[in-house]
Structures are given as C-alpha cells and as structure tokens.
Amino acid sequence: MTAWCEIKDVGDPLRLRAWANAMGAPVVRSGYTLEGRVVLSATCPHCERLTVVATTSEKSLYPPIVWRSPFE
C-alpha cells in the first residue's frame, strides 16, 4: 500500500478559504515561520493546502528561534 499526501502553497488566504470551503475542510493556524509570519492550512484526506500570511501583528509576541547546540 502506498500512502501519499500532496502539499501545495496557494499563495493567498482567500484562495485557501475558497479551497477549504469547496473541500469541507477547516482553515487552521498551523504555526509560524522563522520570520514570525503566520502559516494557515487546510487538510482533506490526501492533500493539504497552505499559505503564509504576508504580515502579522503578532510577530512581536514571539521571539526569534535561536539554535543552541547541546555539544558547544
């Protein structure tokens, strides 16, 4: 049995909402990019569509991610 999932960036929150409405899928906030931008997504059984919101007022609420190596 082969399992697959198609993931595409639709580029626009309005397109994401239109696709989600057509598929009967909810739009959810999936997280944030390293730059602090919001990632929205909608998932149906074998495909996921997402978009990155260009700007967000919540950017200042989250500090940037900093990598600290446990070996240093």
Residue 29, domain member (yes or no): yes
Residue 48: per-residue pLDDT = 85
Residue 38, domain member (yes or no): yes
Residue 55, domain member (yes or no): yes
Residue 68, domain member (yes or no): no
Neighbouring C-beta atoms of residue 43, cutoff 10 Å: 18
Residue 12, domain member (yes or no): yes
Residue 18 has pLDDT above 80, yes or no: yes
Closest CA to 32 of 61, 5, 9: 61
**Which residue segment(s) compose the domain that 10 sits in?**
6-61
Residue 53, domain member (yes or no): yes
Q: What are 34's two structure tokens? A: 């390293």
Residue 66, domain member (yes or no): no
Tokens 């082969």, located at residue: 2
DSSP E strand stretches across the chain: 6-9, 27-32, 38-44, 47-52
| Pairing verdict, β 6-9 and 47-52 | parallel
Give the count of domains, the chain. Answer: 1
Residue 67, domain member (yes or no): no
pLDDT in tens, 21-64: 998 989 998 888 877 788 899 988 778 888 888 765 555 556 66
